[in-house]
Structure 1
């Protein structure tokens, strides 16, 4: 059973990592800090919403590990190049945000309304983690004042919020189709047996 579970986890992580890499082709430069609008940040949060904290974190780690040798980041960048520039904090946030979003998401109740609220909270907390890490990176790498570094996040709020709404809808659909991802299938069948 553990071998099968490990194989399943590896497959989930590999599929989501591939999705994140494919989304590297979407990169729109914006703002004065040289940080583009990308889809990868939302895909990493989606990984946490769908796979949970541990597997979501593994997606971020595998993505950045592959980025050591391959240009998998938005705009064709590598992890080392990104860590040396103003986007260093965002790169660190790419590992932390799916872990935190996943930990919150996997505390969702079984009902659709409760799950929707919890996934929304998880997604936006994950985004806040990315913004905080990004702002800290701008302070360290670009020498920005804290107020300027956090203000540099403002142009991203509307597009990132739109991306997260789509990610939440996708996560809801996935969990409705595969309730056992969160372990809800067993709980639901126990409840039915008691009733």
Structure 2
């Protein structure tokens, strides 16, 4: 029952952060906080629970609720240029959490390193899925589709740094989170 509460709270956090969105560029892909919240879900909850939080968020969007940037539903977004990012949103918390939770227990330095690696690899998953979506939905060539990610890297890395700090604080306050994953 506690897992369900964690999953629901993170799904809600991801949805709330939809309202922090800045439109950028011709591809129609905005700067959002959701991508960082999704990775944070994996870093804090672990791969399985983070995946389930992202899945719940996306299911609500597929049901027509406005859970994405700009008040869009996932149902509306699957036909647009951001569909690849939605796939990345589903996969990335699984990746982030699996890497983070593979860290040795009782070694804060190693755990910090695993959190950083998990966050960066999860972000790469989002970018790769997003580029694939741009190729197949917008008709971009592979090079420009991957280059379209470049303007987002500095801000996304800053968001991940904050996310890792938050994850460290949450795990310090609730050490049982890793034991119950």
Output one character per residue of 1:136-165: Cα deviation in whole Å (capped at 9) or x when no partner: 000000010000000000010011001000
Output one character per residue of 1:50-98: Cα deviation in whole Å (capped at 9) or x when no partner: 0000101101110011012201101101101111000000001110000
Name the residue aligned to 1:17.
11
Q: CA deviation at 1:170?
A: 0.4
CA distance in 2, matches of 1:25, 1:73: 8
Name the residue aligned to 1:65.
59
Q: Does 1:80 align with 2:78?
A: no
Name the residue aligned to 2:97.
102
Q: CA deviation at 1:28?
A: 0.5
Name the residue aligned to 1:190.
none
Return 5+ residue gaps in structure 1 as ranges.
Answer: 1-6, 185-195
Q: CA deviation at 1:32?
A: 2.2
Contact 1:107 1:118 in 2 (8 A): yes
Determine which structure has more spread, i.e. the larger CA radius of gyration. Answer: 1
Name the residue aligned to 2:167.
171
Name the residue aligned to 1:89.
84
Contact 1:31 1:155 in 2 (8 A): no
Output one character per residue of 1:76-122: Cα deviation in whole Å (capped at 9) or x when no partner: 01101111000000001110000111100101122221111110000
The RMSD of aligned alpha carbons is: 1.0
CA distance in 2, matches of 1:108, 1:32: 40
CA distance in 1, matches of 2:111, 2:6: 21
Q: Does 1:40 align with 2:42?
A: no
Query: TM-score under structure 2 normalisation?
Result: 0.96
Output one character per residue of 1:157-183: Cα deviation in whole Å (capped at 9) or x when no partner: 011001000100000001111111112
Match of 1:30 among 21, 24, 31: 24
Count of aligned positions: 178
Return 5+ residue gaps in structure 2 as ranges.
Answer: none
Name the residue aligned to 2:139.
143
Query: TM-score under structure 1 normalisation?
Result: 0.89
